Amino acid sequence: MGKRINKPLLSGVVAAFLFAFAIFFLTSSTSAQQNPTMDGIPAKVATDYIHSVVTASREFYAKQIVGRLGKSISLKASENWEQENALPLPAQFLKLSAKNSNDLGIGLKIRLLSLNPINKENSPVTDLETLGLRGLSKSSTEPFTWMVQRQGMWTFQAIYPDVASSESCVSCHNTHPKSPKKDFQLGDVMGGILINVPLSNVPLTEKGISGEGEVFMVPPQIVSDYVHATLDSDRHVYTEYIVKRMKAAGIVEAKESWLDENALPLPAQFLLNTGLAARRNKLGLNFRLISLWPISFNNSAANEFERNALVSVAVNPLRPYLGKTKRGRNTYFQAIYPDFAVSQACVDCHNSHPKSPKKDFQLDDLMGGMVISFPMKK
């Protein structure tokens, strides 16, 4: 993720305009960036957001990539996906994405666990992890949560049920020679998704020592960074290990009309469909892509805050543009992160699309921004 961030190459005229405009609004109207950390988000809510993204991404991948293309063009998903020019299994997709976000060094850690693992690396390593896995039930979406202290730092940990969401998951576990359990069915809890959120510099209360996630608060900017890292890691894995590999092997390409053409969704479409799936959880978390040069009107900046943000991240693409907005009686934290052309498919689509207002994108150019918003605690 961070490795791919390169400052976009803009024409001299456009760059000068953006810089001048950015200096104007950053010096004349800074209300959006004042006190960007604001109040905290409960740790349990933060892990709910992250889990929502993780499960939404895997759900879309399992159903619309593995399931749909397995039926339409006989594209298989395999444990040995690298050797067989196949798709990674949904669990492998999650592990690849988790490794990418874990390696960023921002404190967030995501891991798959099971009491019946094929790979011993997925076994629980503490008594609390074992207890949490045993307490999970497919009839409940609530995680098992607790607090741990390591080297003077408190960490909030939550294990969410990992439910068999596709036939490929069930088939792999039931037929694998190393699987200790061979009678899984769709909908069964196969293990857990462990999410670790560090709580450094967070004061503890007597009530909080019990590990209740409502007690411990995480700064909203940190929460949005975690959500962005998860989203960007999902898209990175999809782009590098699915879109690019499948095209290089001559198996299938990514196209805008992916449903009609039995193709892969473009990376931006993968992210947007993940967003639609995540909204069904009704947590208040929203994310979408916006641009100064949108193909679709739906991807235009919705207000002055978003327009200012797009100019800001074009001038300084190293950090997001932060602020808060009002919707009715509710206050929302909002962060806009720079969004770059991560694959040639993105570039080709924008440069050739009849509705695209900009047709000279190159790889790693800034294409717009990723908006992440969620409600502040009342």
146-193 confidence digits (pLDDT tens) = 988 877 778 999 999 998 877 878 888 889 899 899 999 988 899 999
Q: Which of 174, 196, 224 is the last residue of a domain?
A: 224
Q: Are residue 27 and residue 74 in the same domain, yes or no?
A: no
The answer to the question of residue 278 being in a domain is no
- 8 and 25, same domain (yes or no): yes
Domain assignment present for residue 11? The answer is yes
Ranges in the chain, pLDDT < 70? 1-38, 137-140, 200-215, 377-378
Q: CB of 311 within 8 A of CB of 335?
A: no
Round the CA-based radius of gyration of the chain to a whole number and report it.
21
Considering 224, 244, 275, which residue would you say is the last residue of a domain? Answer: 224
Same domain, 75 and 161: yes
Residue-wise pLDDT for 269-313, tens only, equals 999 999 988 988 889 999 999 998 988 888 888 888 999 999 999
The pLDDT score that the predictor gives to residue 28 is: 32
User: Has residue 199 been placed in a domain?
Assistant: yes
Return the sign of the alpha-carbon dihedral for residues 266, 278, 216, 320: positive
H or E element at residue 337: strand 330-340
Q: Is residue 246 part of a domain?
A: no
From 179, 202, 224, the end of a domain falls on: 224
Domain count for the chain, please give it.
2
Close Cβ partners of 174 (under 8 Å, ≥ 6 residues apart):
182, 183, 184
Number of CB atoms found within 10 A of residue 4's CB: 14
335/371 same-domain check: yes
Residues 212 and 77 in one domain: yes
Q: What local confidence, expressed as pLDDT, does residue 378 receive?
A: 54
For residues 134 and 196, membership in a common domain is answered with yes
Clarify whether residues 218 and 291 are in a common domain. no
Whether residue 255 lies inside any domain: the answer is no
Task: Clarify whether residues 84 and 190 are in a common domain.
Answer: yes
Q: Do residues 29 and 46 share a domain?
A: no
Q: What does the pLDDT read at residue 302? A: 87
| Assigned domain for 244 exists | no
- Could you tell me if 141 and 182 lie in one domain? yes
Same domain, 76 and 25: no
- Name the phi and psi angles at 181, rounded to 5: -135, 125
Q: CA 343, CA 362: separation in Å to the nearest integer?
A: 9
What kind and span of H or E run contains 286? Answer: strand 286-290
Domain hosting residue 314, numbered range: 2-34+284-375
Contact 228, 320 (CB under 8 A): yes
Decide if 345 is inside a domain. Answer: yes
* Helices 43-60/220-237 angle, 10° precision: 20
Residues 171, 69 share a domain: yes
pLDDT at 2: 38
pLDDT at residue 27, rounded to an integer:
33
Residue 276 domain-assigned (yes or no): no
